[in-house]
């Protein structure tokens, strides 16, 4: 029996999700730029702080010493590749399509920063008294959640194949 296509396998819902996610990411980054002091922790919870920094590289500041246009080009290639993957994915793979849409949104959000500022604005810091995680932003969260959705979909479909 054929399943109907998953919501995010269709272009319009994906485009709406991506636009809304990118606008939200950019609005938060604008607020961070206006009101959050650079390089200072603003405690939110005992393990969470707002901490504005600029990331001149990609995830975890990788390639921070590399030419800006290389990083921008790399982000464009990633967006194009994920769009290609999205188009090639079977229509019934809801979480995979959702994941690709979130990855595209996150990559575009960080791409905009790279084009406009030459760096990505990061502002979320998870930490413990003797350890801290890399500072990140909403776009990075979209990418991470998107990857998790794709992995979840693979597990769900593995289970269906084995049944």
Q: How far is CA 115 from CA 29, 36, 37, 71, 129, in A?
A: 14, 22, 22, 10, 36
From the list 25, 91, 113, 140, the catalytic residue is: 140
Specify whether the CB–CB gap between 108 and 79 falls below 8 A: yes
What sign does the dihedral 71-16-123-112 (CA atoms) show? positive
Print burial letters for 22-57: b (CB count within 10 Å at least 16), e (below 16). Answer: beebbebbeebeeebeeeeeeeeeeeebbbbbbbbe
162 is catalytic: no
Instruction: Extract the runs of DSSP E, i.e. beta strands, from the chain.
Output: 42-45, 48-55, 120-128, 131-132
Which candidate in 91, 122, 153, 162 is catalytic?
Answer: 122
Annotated catalytic residue 122: yes
Catalytic site positions: 122, 140
């Amino acid at each position: 029996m054929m399943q109907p296509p998953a919501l995010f396998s269709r272009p319009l819902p994906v485009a709406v999700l991506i636009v809304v996610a990118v606008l939200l990411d950019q609005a938060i980054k604008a607020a961070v730029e206006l009101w959050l002091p650079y390089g200072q922790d603003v405690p939110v919870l005992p393990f969470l702080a707002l901490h504005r920094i600029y990331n001149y590289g990609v995830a975890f500041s990788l390639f921070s010493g590399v030419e800006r246009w290389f990083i921008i080009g790399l982000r464009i290639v990633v967006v194009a590749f994920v769009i290609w993957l999205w188009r090639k994915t079977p229509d019934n793979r809801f979480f995979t399509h959702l994941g690709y849409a979130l990855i595209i949104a996150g990559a575009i959000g960080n791409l905009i920063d790279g084009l406009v500022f030459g760096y990505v604005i990061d502002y979320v810091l998870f930490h413990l008294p003797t350890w801290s995680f890399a500072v990140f932003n909403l776009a990075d969260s979209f990418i991470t959640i998107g990857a998790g959705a794709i992995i979840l979909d693979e597990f769900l479909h593995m289970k269906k194949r084995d049944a």
